[in-house]
């Protein structure tokens, strides 16, 4: 059991690399086994997520300063160098000498004492360059080509940068990269069936937790600082609120469910939007929540109990195979499985896991789901298609291809005062750096 946050970060990063495991899952496991104060837990977490996110940039510094490139360094040494360089480049509150000394200590604890001098030398070489007035960009001697230049500087794969450059141009791509490299904010959605925004605000203020209402989202509240364990916050057990990002809250309003209606949520787990829909209907009507993953439906069932909602019926299964619901629903929500390209700030390793090939496979599944669940909608009813990604293959192209095969359907511009303007096509494309919320795509269709 370690009481050293840097050692915790080292063993976590080593496990992520050896096992190919998800960063948040391994970190959770290690934090449970560790004996750390709150501040040290925060430092260990920042180091793990930061080194994972900034891997490409950190490797590029090693490539510049060491004789051998990063990928030829012994794997454990490479992790130790990442930890040291991350603290020197990206942590604002760690004195450089502490960063260097604690990193050299890691070589001793992990049977790499012989390499302590090399680590010390490389980190001090970096510091000397900074002290001589060199920026990170000049230390990296970046290539002219904007794709590699931005990819190395902001630590993203080239194919992602290429896509953003095409959609946004250089200046906005930089802004988007900065957004995805920062720690995510935490938004709550207040449950109007059990409390009010004012009550929640007062209860949080009593614990010195500050937040502010989300503009044009009547139940939304954004926390201004880190808050520790969610379950310990006031009102969790009483079902006063649900954690849900602003852009995901928008989806419920665009579905616009009315009391007494039948709504089907085709990909419901873990249920953030299902429970919002039930709340918006005053828990009066029927929400059928389907998902093919029983494991992901467990938190939905827990949330239904915690929020004391009675209008939700949960079904396990593949939404491509429910012909019994044809022509049954007033409204259908397809919050489709997607690559998550709008939420890269929430998972430090997802930028390295996503591939263009996965996007192609997902777009096939999205098209099949869209086709099948559209049959559930009654004539005159509504189908809302949403994803938390920004790639056209999973969004605009999916809708265009569906509309070309189904001329009786059309895009309907939501008749609501929203924090994001619809595009000229009538759907919402939410870019995080412009709208300060997760990246999302939401299209409302009617036939």
Ligand X SMILES: C[S@@+](CC[C@H](N)C(=O)[O-])C[C@H]1O[C@@H](n2cnc3c(N)ncnc32)[C@H](O)[C@@H]1O
**Which residues are tagged catalytic?**
388
Any contact of residue 252 with ligand X (CB under 6 A)?
Answer: no
- Closer of 130 and 243 to ligand X (Cβ): 243
Question: In the beta sheet, which residues pair with residue 242?
Answer: 189
- Is residue 268 a contact residue for ligand X (CB under 6 A)? yes
Interface residue with ligand X, options 78, 273, 345, 444 (CB under 6 A): 273
Shortest Å distance, C-beta 162 to ligand X: 25
| Residue 92 CB burial class (10 angstroms; 0-12, 13-18, ≥19) | exposed
Torsion of Cα atoms, 301 then 305 then 309 then 313, to 10°: 30
Minimum CB distance to ligand X, residue 415 (Å)? 23
**Would you count residue 247 as binding ligand X (CB under 6 A)?**
no
Binding site for S-adenosyl-L-methionine, by residue number, is: 267-273, 291, 318, 335
Nearer to ligand X, 77 or 248 (CB): 248
Binders of ligand X among residues 112 to 131 (CB under 6 A) are none
Indicate the helix (H) or strand (E) that contains 211. strand 211-213
Q: How far is the CB of 311 from ligand X (least distance, A)?
A: 16
Residue nearer to ligand X on the CB measure, 14 or 296: 296
H-type alpha helices, 307-355: 350-353
State the nearest-atom distance from the C-beta of 383 to ligand X, in Å.
Answer: 15
Is 427:442 a contact under the CB 8 Å cutoff? yes
Least CB distance from residue 337 to ligand X, whole Å?
4
Q: How far is CA 150 from CA 58, 60, 142, 169, 232, in A?
A: 14, 12, 9, 12, 40
Among 60, 79, 246, 267, binds ligand X (CB under 6 A): 267
Interface with ligand X includes 372 (CB under 6 A)?
no
Nearest residue to ligand X, using CB?
Answer: 267
Q: Which is nearer to ligand X, 261 or 291 (CB)?
A: 291
Strand partners, 241: 190
* SS3 of residue 201 by DSSP: helix
Q: Give the CA radius of gyration of the chain.
A: 24
Q: Which stretch binds ligand X (CB under 6 A): 63-71, 126-134, 176-184, 268-276?
A: 268-276
Binder to ligand X among 296, 346, 375, 433 (CB under 6 A)? 296
- Indicate the residue among 273 and 351 with the shorter CB distance to ligand X: 273
| Secondary-structure percent of the chain, ordered helix, strand, coil, rounded to 5 | 50, 15, 35
- Does 394 bind ligand X (CB under 6 A)? Our answer is no
Task: Check binding of 306 to ligand X (CB under 6 A).
Answer: no
Encode 324-337: b = buried (16+ Cβ within 10 Å), e = exposed. Answer: ebeebbbbbbbbbb
Residues that constitute the known binding site: 267-273, 291, 318, 335
Residue 232 interacting with ligand X (CB under 6 A): no
Which residue, 347, 266, 260, is CA-closest to 314?
266
CB–CB of 264/290 below 8 Å? yes
The SS3 call for residue 199 is: helix
Q: Does 291 bind ligand X (CB under 6 A)?
A: yes
Q: Which of 182, 232, 293, 358 binds ligand X (CB under 6 A)?
A: 293
Helices within 141-245 (DSSP H only): 146-154, 158-168, 170-180, 197-206
Q: Pick the stretch among 14-22, 139-147, 267-275, 424-432 that binds ligand X (CB under 6 A).
A: 267-275
- In the DSSP assignment, the letter for residue 189 is E
Q: Please, what is the minimum distance in Å from the beta carbon of residue 23 to ligand X?
A: 19
- Reference 395, options 420, 419, 430; nearest CA is 430
Determine, following the binding rule CB under 6 A, whether residue 270 of this chain makes contact with ligand X: yes
H-helix segments, 348-395 = 350-353, 356-374
- In which element (H, E) is residue 104 found? helix 96-109
Sign of CA dihedral 42, 35, 13, 85: positive
Q: Does 290 participate in binding ligand X (rule CB under 6 A)? A: yes
Please give the size of the binding site for ligand X, defined by CB under 6 A.
Answer: 19
What DSSP element (H or E) covers 255? Answer: helix 246-255
Question: Which residue among 337, 352, 378, 436 contacts ligand X (CB under 6 A)?
Answer: 337
Q: From the CB of 302, what's the least distance to ligand X, in Å?
A: 13
Residue numbers 171-190 binding ligand X by CB under 6 A: none
Complex with ligand X: residue 44 or 272, whichever CB lies closer: 272
The residue ranges that bind ligand X (CB under 6 A) are 248, 267-273, 290-293, 296, 318-320, 335, 337, 369
């Amino acid at each position: 059991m370690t009481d050293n946050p840097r050692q915790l970060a080292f063993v976590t990063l080593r496990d992520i690399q050896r096992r190919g495991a998800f960063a948040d899952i391994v970190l959770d496991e290690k934090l449970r086994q560790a004996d750390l104060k709150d501040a040290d837990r925060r430092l260990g977490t920042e180091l793990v997520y930061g080194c994972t996110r900034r891997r490409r940039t950190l490797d590029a510094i090693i490539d510049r300063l060491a004789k051998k490139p990063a990928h030829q360094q012994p794997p454990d040494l490479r992790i130790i160098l990442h930890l040291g360089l991350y603290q020197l480049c990206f942590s604002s509150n760690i004195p450089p000498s502490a960063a260097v000394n604690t990193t050299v200590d890691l070589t001793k604890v992990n049977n790499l004492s012989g390499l302590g001098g090399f680590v010390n030398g490389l980190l001090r070489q970096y510091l000397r360059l900074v002290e001589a007035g060199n920026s990170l960009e000049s230390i990296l001697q970046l290539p002219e080509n904007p794709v590699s230049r931005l990819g190395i500087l902001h630590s993203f794969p080239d194919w992602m940068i290429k896509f953003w450059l095409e959609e946004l141009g250089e200046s906005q791509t930089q802004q988007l990269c900065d957004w995805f490299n920062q720690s995510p904010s935490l938004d709550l959605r207040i449950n109007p069936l059990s409390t009010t925004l004012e009550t929640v605000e007062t209860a949080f203020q009593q614990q010195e937790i500050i937040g502010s209402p989300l503009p044009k989202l009547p139940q939304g509240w954004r926390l201004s600082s880190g808050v520790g364990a969610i379950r310990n916050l006031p009102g969790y057990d009483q079902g006063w609120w649900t954690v849900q990002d602003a852009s995901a809250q928008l989806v419920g309003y665009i579905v616009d469910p009315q009391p007494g209606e039948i709504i089907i949520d085709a990909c419901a787990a873990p249920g953030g939007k299902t429970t919002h829909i039930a709340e918006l209907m005053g828990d009066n009507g029927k929400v059928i929540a389907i998902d093919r993953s029983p494991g992901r439906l467990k938190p939905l069932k827990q949330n239904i109990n915690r929020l004391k909602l009675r209008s939700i019926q949960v079904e396990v299964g593949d939404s491509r195979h429910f012909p019994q619901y044809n022509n049954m629903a007033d409204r259908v929500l397809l919050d489709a499985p997607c690559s998550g390209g709008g939420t890269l700030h929430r998972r430090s390793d997802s930028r390295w896991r996503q591939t263009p090939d996965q996007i192609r496979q997902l777009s096939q599944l999205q098209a099949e789901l869209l086709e099948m669940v559209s049959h559930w909608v009654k004539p005159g009813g509504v189908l809302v298609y949403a994803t938390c990604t920004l790639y056209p293959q999973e969004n605009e192209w999916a809708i265009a291809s569906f509309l070309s095969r189904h001329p009786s359907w059309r895009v309907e511009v939501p008749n609501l005062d929203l924090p994001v303007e619809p595009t000229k096509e009538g759907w919402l494309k939410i870019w995080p750096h412009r709208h300060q919320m997760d990246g999302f795509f939401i299209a409302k269709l009617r036939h």
